[in-house]
Copies of this chain bind each other. A is one copy, B any other.
Amino acid sequence: MMAPEPVLTSKEDLIPYAFDGTAALSQMPGAVVFPRDAEQVSRLLQWANRERVPIIPRGSGSGLSGGSVPTPGSVVMCLVKLDRVLEVDRKNLTVMVETGATTEAVATAVGAANLFYPPDPGSMKISTIGGNVAENSGGLRGLKYGVTRNYVMGMEVVLPQGEIVWMGNKCVKDVAGYNLKDVFIGSEGTLGVITRVLLKLIPKPAAKKTMLATFAEMEKAAETISAIIAAQIIPCTLEFLDRTTIKCVEDFAHIGLPLDCDAIVLMETDGHAAVVAEESARMEQICRAHGCTSVHVAKDDTEAVQLASARRAAFSALARVAPTTILEDVTVPRSELAQMIRFIQNVAKTDQLRVGVFGHMGDGNLHPTFLTDERNHAEMEKVEKALHKIIEETIRLGGTITGEHGVGLAKKRFLPRQLGETQLRVMRELRRVLDPAGVLNPGKMFD
């Protein structure tokens, strides 16, 4: 075998690579390898094609759809050693990074040049840029700044049969040939292994204001969000937590959140100081006009970070209170948000399930999180049924089964319902063209 060093094969060493951030999914791989450049990735894929060994690419394993969970007998290709930030180009506002650099390392490196890389997935302290690109990760600033896709200008990809290709460039406009780059973004490690990424940067916003509003009824919170968008304000963050989530976060982080409210909305506006002052005043006014019980504006950066931490801690806080947390990721058009939240809460009530709802309200992206126990088969079955109901309602409302976590294994059974047979057929054929032997991340997204 021509696999690159080092290689892990002992059981204890393999255990951490048997799962990712997704609950209730785990499978031991045959081995784990750590390539150090695209050449080594290429040789490993050529070997895998000859020997018909499944290759599972992964970064830090913070994924939330089981996209990097091994298949039996597979070799995990862990890309964290490819972690250099190669070039910050101030003239062209770009940064070139290796795939295993963490999102935070990239944000820090470009911040030092007074530039800004906006995508900030919840796991950004550990998640890798390659993983972000493979999953097209979102974050808390998606409303104003978009998602990972909006920042990828180019990338080096090793195709499943081992060919190394570079797609894209530092040009802000390019229409030469089909846009293959955007197919690889969000392809969840099934079409190629990303080894290097060229990212677009923007000027760092000059000012920022963070606010937290509380509401006695979830409906009022949802109406407030709609009213902010209808007033043509696009803040960088419009996040929310429901009553269950608020309680768990407060128990966990002791931030001083009010426990007598039904919803908390976190708002952040950034940009020119005059715009920030005006937008935050208008948002405060809209919150009050829609019956919020309180609005609190952070007086400085420290307090802003503290308020935002309530939202950032949501998933960890919920994960603490039950042995198994099933994290959902449905997304609906913003106009359908109130309807969708009501539906989820009704399903939980009818089926007597514990669910905490939080998410990117401004994006229509909800993370209903079921608090359960995978050993309780009866309850897990009820959760599964509830998920099906939520998926059906999402599709009925013109939404999508996954806004930012991906399909992987977790949403695979729902994908045909979302896309229909024709699109799935095209996707299947595209995958076969690139990976005729089916060695790259088999069984993920679809069979």
Contact A174 B91 (CB under 8 A): no
Interface residues of A (CB under 8 A from B): 89-93, 114, 135-136, 138, 142-143, 147, 149-150, 159, 163, 165, 167, 169-180, 182-183, 185-187, 191, 202-204, 226, 229-230, 232-234, 271-272, 274-275, 278, 331-335, 360, 363-365, 398-407, 411, 415, 418-420, 422-424, 426-427, 429-430, 433-434, 445-446
Complex contacts, A407 vs chain B, CB 8 Å: 175-177
Asked if residues B186 and A419 are in contact (CB atoms below 8 Å), the reply is no
Q: Are A423 and B172 in contact (CB under 8 A)?
A: no
Q: Which of B138, B170, B423 contacts A173 (CB 8 A)?
A: B138
Pick 26 A–B contacts, CB within 8 A, sort by A. Answer: A91-B226, A91-B333, A92-B333, A93-B229, A114-B232, A150-B150, A165-B422, A169-B398, A169-B400, A170-B333, A170-B398, A171-B332, A171-B363, A171-B400, A172-B331, A172-B334, A173-B365, A174-B402, A175-B186, A177-B415, A178-B427, A180-B427, A203-B232, A203-B234, A271-B275, A426-B433
| A58, chain B: closest CB distance, angstroms | 17
Q: Which residues of B contact A272 (CB under 8 A)?
A: 272, 274-275, 278
Most buried by B among A89, A142, A163: A163
By a CB distance below 8 angstroms, the chain B residues around A226 are 91
With contacts A91-B335, A180-B183, A278-B272 taken as known, whether A363 is within 8 angstroms of B172 at the C-beta atoms is yes
Given A172-B364, A364-B172, does the pair A418, B331 have CB atoms closer than 8 Å? no
* Residue pair B183, A427 in contact (C-beta under 8 Å): no
A92 touches B335 (CB 8 A): yes
Contact partner of A175 (CB less than 8 A), chosen from B136, B143, B234, is B136
Provide the residues of chain B in CB contact with A114, threshold 8 Å.
232
Q: Which residue of B lies closest to A332 (CB)?
A: B171
Q: Across the interface, which residues of B come within 8 angstroms of A234, CB to CB?
A: 202-203
Complex contact A171–B93 (CB within 8 A) = no
Specify which chain B residues have a CB less than 8 angstroms from the CB of A180 in the assembled complex. Answer: 183, 423, 426-427
Which B residues lie within 8 Å of A331 (CB)? 171-174
Choice from B191, B401, B429 contacting A176 with Cβ under 8 Å: B401
Known: A89-B335, A272-B272. A142 touches B173 (CB 8 A): yes
A363–B423 touching, CB < 8 Å = no
Given known pairs A171-B400, A398-B169, the reply for A163 and B229 (CB within 8 Å) is no
B91 and A403 contact, CB distance less than 8 A: no
CB distance from A406 to the nearest CB of B (A): 5
**In the bound complex, do residue A183 and residue B178 qualify as a contact, i.e. CB atoms below 8 Å apart?**
yes
Q: A234 vs B405: C-alpha distance in the bound complex, in angstroms?
A: 32
Instruction: Select the residue from A135, A179, A335, A407 with max chain B CB neighbours within 10 A.
Output: A179
Nearest to A149 among chain B residues (CB) is: B179
Which residues on the B side are within 8 Å of A230 (C-beta)?
90-91
Do A400 and B174 form a contact, CB below 8 Å, given A203-B232, A272-B278, A430-B430?
yes
Please, how many angstroms separate the alpha-carbon atoms of A402 and B175 in the complex? 6
A35–B365 alpha-carbon span in the complex (Å): 38
* Residue of B whose beta carbon sits closest to that of A330: B171
Write out the residue numbers on chain B whose beta carbons fall within 8 Å of the beta carbon of A191: 178
How far apart are A86's CB and chain B's nearest CB, in angstroms? 15
For the complex, what is the distance from the CA of A403 to the CA of B175, rounded to whole Å? 6
Complex formed: what's the CA distance from A183 to B180 in Å? 7
A415 & B142 in contact (Cβ 8 Å cutoff): no
- Check B171 against A179 for contact (C-beta < 8 Å): no
Q: Are A177 and B445 in contact (CB under 8 A)?
A: yes
Give complex CA distance A427, B181 in Å.
11
In this complex, what residue of B is CB-closest to A93? B229
Report A367 CB to chain B, min CB distance, Å.
Answer: 12
